[in-house]
Amino acid sequence: MKHFSLLIAFASLMTSCASLHQRSEILELDDIFQVRPRQTLFTYQNGEVVSKLNTQLTKAGLYERNDTLFAEFIAQSLPPADTDPGTLDQSDSAAVLFVHHNPVLKRIKEESPWFNYQLKSFDVDLFTVPFKFRFPQEGRPGQLNTNPNVGVYVGLRYDRGGYRTLFFRRERRSEIRSLSFGLGSFASIGSALVSSFTTNGVVSDEYEALGLNYGLASIVGYKTFTAGLALGFENLISADNRVWIYHNKPYLGVTIGLNLN
């Protein structure tokens, strides 16, 4: 009975899609991910739906259609073919597998287990540092600055993702979660105050100069939004840069950004 219900679900998905390889219809994911071990997927073989256990960290193209997650595994990441039909191996590399959960129909609300995957990638973010704390310099106390600025962050990013199906009153929908961590470098421009305070009395006037920033940042991301901490340095595009007490001195900043890739 269980296999029969899986077969009906898979058949309905097949008839609703002209081709599983029409990538223009992909709604989410659409990338090569690492699939974590000890997770079960399903495929259609010889007229019936069979389960396949992923026994090691593998790589697969993941994509979603009609609230169902599909996977096409890269052969080189799969273990060599063996005689166990219940595990994923290189003989399954040509198969299209899918994640499925058979709900208990008597329950009003039910959630499938999370299907987990991960991705390591190169990251590019557009970001700002709304708060900078400048350490005490030359007898002057530390300062908290909120000058406007904008910059670009580049680095390595590690994403952890999960996919599950939610059932409510026999209706279903998918849910995707994503959390990322990153470490990289940044460059930005912004305004910086030049005054008697910030030059130890050398400059009597007060004005806003253009500052060039660079440094390192560690970020946490959710979907396309990121936030983190930065250790930065700043120089002025101004003749007063050499007397500015924060010239090339470190500061701590809070970053808020938007993932561009």
Within the chain, what is the greatest distance between any pair of CA atoms?
A: 86
What does the alpha-carbon distance between residue 12 and residue 68 come to, in Å, rounded to a whole number?
11
Cα distances from 84 to residues 57, 59, 87, 137, in angstroms, run: 18, 20, 6, 68
Domain map (residue ranges) of the chain: 2-100, 119-259
240 token code pair: 């007063």
Closest CA to 149 of 204, 182, 192: 192
What does the alpha-carbon distance between residue 90 and residue 93 come to, in Å, rounded to a whole number?
5
Q: Quick: pLDDT tens for 50-103.
A: 999 999 999 999 998 888 899 999 999 999 999 899 999 999 999 999 998 777
pLDDT of 43 over the 60 cut: yes
Average pLDDT on 245-261 reads 94
Q: Quick: pLDDT tens for 188-239.
A: 999 999 999 999 999 999 999 999 999 999 999 987 899 999 999 999 999 9
The owner of tokens 């009003």 is 108
Confidence of residue 16 (pLDDT cuts 50, 70, 90): very low
H or E segment at 136?
none
